[in-house]
Amino acid sequence: MPHRVSEADAARIARFRPASGMETPRFAGLASFMRLPVRSPESADGVEIGLVGIPFDGATTNRPGARLGPRGVREASTGTRMVNHASGIAPYALAACADLGDVPVNPIDAAETCRRIEGVFAGLRERGVVSFAVGGDHLVTYPILRALGRGRPLGLVHIDAHSDTDDAQYDGTRLTHGTPFRRAVEDGVLDPRRCVQIGIRGSMDAADERDWACAQGIRIVTMEEAVARGLPEIVAEARAIVGAGPAYLSFDIDALDPAYAPGTGTPEIGGFTAREALYLVRALRGLDLVGADLVEVAPPLDPSGMTALAGGQLAFEILCLLADAVAARRTGTG
């Protein structure tokens, strides 16, 4: 059901609508996420959903390049339009959205970058802004979860090729793109019993690599299980696991098969098609999402630009979910 927006809310939201491709070409002007107006986190008054770039890949253990993900997704997302043809969601009519720029990362210091990320996203939470991050490698999710899950452990839908629940990598390093969800569970900002990971596949470093996550109660759906049972059944289970409480969506672009997204740090064959990825995201409509991210787009590893294109269009789909959730909370219909 479409959400009703009051005249006052509609007038406020209209101030943040992106430039229309029917009025000025989508290839013109400075690139921002979805061609949205640009604000800073400190001047986000009136913004309900803030899109934030995190240009950091200093925690990747394979191929670098995701530091340029926000720039590539911004450019690719300028081709998106106003209304989701499948769901009918018009995100810019439901919520005031803006591009809030990039977190000022320290490219050679993961711990300092995590502190900066947490500070930015904690500030947005205090202002009542729902955050949507574009990375960057997957470590960036950890400080975001610390900011959003403090005092209210979140549920999680995590779409990825990898569980990212390792304890440490490379001589005990605990902050890598393979550890964010373990750190978040340990910090009490994620409720593992309300976490589901979908699309996990590929060879492992050890036979017990996923045992810790399963022991905590995290539901791991391998790619093989997703294929065998079918996506509608998998999504129904995921929705039941997350339940009605506040939740976060994290989408790693390597969930897609490399045929659709080769530009990523740790590609794994046998992944989702682009069409299946669209289905997965759209089927999550109605969850009480309080934040989301899209990570691991590495434009330098894909001269064709198709990975950034997939990232930009999936970002629009995720934005539609967030706008729908914001409108549901505003009207009390969530």
Q: State the binding site for Mn(2+).
A: 138, 160, 162, 164, 252, 254
306 in Cβ contact with 79 (< 8 Å) = no
As annotated, the binding site includes 138, 160, 162, 164, 252, 254
Give the pairing type, strands 190-200 and 130-135. Answer: unpaired
User: Which pair of tokens denotes residue 93?
Assistant: 């009519």
271 alpha carbon, distance to own chain's centre:
18
Question: Cis before residue 123, ω within 30 degrees of 0?
Answer: no
